[in-house]
């Protein structure tokens, strides 16, 4: 596979913000820490020339160790009554690889020969190393993009579709012209309780799962379950970091994709009747130190990559207050060390992300953000 640097060279963007506190904070980050080299030997996925496009869906599921969850996910996908064409499972460094017998079982489920229904193709790719959620999905998309599907479903292995979910999501995309569709995700343990209705991002830089349709402006779908149109996937795959930014590993990669897409004019829609059940926190645990570290680090990187100088000028003061509030929340939840480590690592990368994306179109519309400072503790 061809390898190379992940960004082209571009001049350093100098940000001049009137908020003295913000300027001093960013300067301190640059002086106290050296920015890590974020561009070493990452794979570059070649974007193919356009091929046949239809309205079918190719799904990508990243699997890591929890064969029970992935099995339930596949069982639910096999009940699809709509446009699902293929399922690609990326086994990301599982301790016990997916066995041949398990692969045959899933193949039979998706083949649907007994039901006399259109078969769903199954592809499994295994990697010895854990490539992470972001790059695992990138690899799955790269494998299927030449096949010409009109839409791509990114799905957690602990998320379970209902039979008509994909049909309703595709219908929503076609009717609205949106490049991204967020389904209605409910908790698997309590199917009447909302888990998330897509994501919103506050002016203080905090990303939240929406808990109802009026819970802040919908910015983008959650990576737990998201439908993306082919042209959007092709365009973002052409970015040096890939569709999902593989440096993120997990958490906030969906916000990054959403902001990059919104900056380029793609819209998002909510499919209220497209229901998905979600276990939640299956990889790291919802309150694990690693999840706190990744969320806080990756959110800072997301803002550095995607907020224009104009938007930073408008919300810079609130961003600083948001970072301080995040630390206070980490103390309250006994995750102070993980939160601080995440914020330090995020600050170390700020300058590099700003410099290397200086020529890219960024988000400038304050209306895309939730104007509340803090939604939930």
pLDDT digits (tens, 9 = 90+) for 86-102: 999 999 999 999 999 99
Q: In which band, very low, low, confident or very high, does the pLDDT at 129 lie, cut at 50, 70 and 90? A: very high
The answer to whether 28 and 57 are in contact (CB under 8 A) is: no
pLDDT of residue 360: 95
Tens digits of residue pLDDT in 3-46: 333 323 333 333 333 334 444 444 444 433 333 344 333 444 44
pLDDT at 47 over 80: no
pLDDT at 369 over 80: yes
What is the percent of the chain with per-residue pLDDT over 70, rounded to a whole number?
83
Residue of 228, 219, 174 lying closest to 198 (CA atoms): 219
Backbone angles phi, psi at 26, to 5 degrees: -65, -35
Please give the average per-residue pLDDT across 68-75, as a whole number.
Answer: 97
Interaxial angle between packed helices 20-32 and 336-356, expressed in degrees from 0 to 180 and rounded to the nearest 10: 90
Residue of 140, 148, 165, 117 lying closest to 59 (CA atoms): 140
Exposed (0-12), middle (13-18) or buried (19+): which is 16, by Cβ within 10 Å? exposed
> Is 57-278 CATH 3.30.565.10?
no
Least confident of 13-22, 244-253, 329-338: 13-22
Could you tell me the residue ranges of all domains in the chain? 17-40+288-368, 57-278
**Spatial separation of the C-alpha atoms in residues 198 and 174, rounded to whole Å:** 18
The answer to whether 354 and 15 are in contact (CB under 8 A) is: yes
- Provide the 8-state DSSP code for 27: H
b/e burial code for range 139-173 (CB count within 10 A of at least 16 → b): bbbbbbbeebbbbbbbbbbbbbbbebbbbbbbbbb
pLDDT of residue 114: 86
Exposed (0-12), middle (13-18) or buried (19+): which is 44, by Cβ within 10 Å? middle
pLDDT of residue 250: 87
Residue of 50, 47, 92 lying closest to 67 (CA atoms): 92
Give DSSP secondary structure letters for 133-153.
Answer: HHHHHHHHHHHHGGG--SEEE
**Spatial separation of the C-alpha atoms in residues 339 and 144, rounded to whole Å:** 37
Helices marked H in the chain: 20-32, 67-78, 100-111, 132-144, 165-176, 230-237, 253-263, 289-306, 309-332, 336-356
246 HSE (CA, 13 A, CB side):
22
Three-class secondary structure of residue 42 per DSSP: strand
**Spatial separation of the C-alpha atoms in residues 268 and 262, rounded to whole Å:** 8
The answer to whether 221 and 227 are in contact (CB under 8 A) is: yes
- C-alpha angle 14-19-25 in degrees, rounded to nearest 5: 70
Q: In which band, very low, low, confident or very high, does the pLDDT at 51 lie, cut at 50, 70 and 90? A: low
How confident is the prediction for the chain on average, in pLDDT? 87
**Spatial separation of the C-alpha atoms in residues 253 and 236, rounded to whole Å:** 12
Tally Cβ neighbours within 10 Å of residue 81: 12
Helices marked H in 238-376: 253-263, 289-306, 309-332, 336-356
pLDDT of residue 21: 45
Count the residues in the chain.
Answer: 377
pLDDT of residue 53: 64
């Amino acid at each position: 596979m061809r390898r190379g640097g992940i960004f082209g060279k571009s001049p350093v963007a100098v940000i001049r913000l009137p908020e003295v506190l913000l300027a001093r904070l960013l300067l301190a980050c640059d002086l106290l820490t050296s920015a890590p080299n974020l561009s070493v030997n990452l794979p570059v996925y070649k974007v193919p020339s356009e091929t046949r496009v239809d309205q079918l869906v190719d799904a990508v599921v990243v699997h890591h160790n929890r064969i029970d969850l992935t099995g339930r996910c596949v069982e639910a996908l096999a009940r699809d009554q709509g446009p699902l064409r293929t399922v690609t499972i990326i086994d990301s460094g599982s301790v016990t690889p997916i066995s041949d017998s398990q692969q045959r079982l899933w193949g039979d489920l998706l083949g649907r020969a007994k039901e006399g229904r259109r078969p769903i193709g199954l592809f499994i790719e295994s990697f010895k190393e854990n490539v992470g959620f972001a790059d695992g999905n990138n690899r799955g998309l790269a494998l299927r993009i030449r096949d010409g599907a009109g839409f791509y479903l990114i799905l957690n292995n602990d998320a379970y579709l209902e039979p008509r979910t994909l049909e309703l999501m595709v219908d929503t995309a076609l009717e609205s012209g949106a490049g991204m569709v967020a389904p209605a995700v409910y908790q698997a343990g309590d199917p009447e309780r909302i888990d998330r209705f897509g994501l919103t991002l506050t002016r203080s830089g905090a990303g939240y799962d929406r808990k109802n349709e009026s819970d802040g402006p919908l910015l983008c779908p959650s990576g737990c379950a998201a439908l993306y149109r082919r042209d959007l996937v092709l365009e973002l795959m052409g970015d040096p970091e890939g569709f999902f930014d593989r440096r993120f590993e997990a958490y906030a990669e969906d916000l990054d994709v959403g902001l990059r897409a919104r900056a380029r004019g793609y819209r998002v829609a909510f499919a209220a009747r497209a229901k998905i059940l979600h276990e939640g926190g299956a990889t790291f645990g919802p309150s694990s130190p690693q999840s706190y570290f990744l969320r806080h680090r990756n959110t800072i990187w997301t803002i550095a990559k995607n907020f224009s100088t104009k938007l930073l000028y408008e919300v810079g003061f609130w961003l600083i207050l948001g970072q301080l509030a995040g630390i206070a929340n980490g103390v309250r939840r006994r995750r102070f060390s993980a939160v601080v480590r995440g914020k330090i690592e995020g600050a170390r990368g700020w300058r590099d992300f700003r410099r290397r994306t200086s020529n890219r179109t960024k988000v400038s519309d304050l209306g895309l953000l939730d104007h509340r400072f803090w939604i939930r503790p």
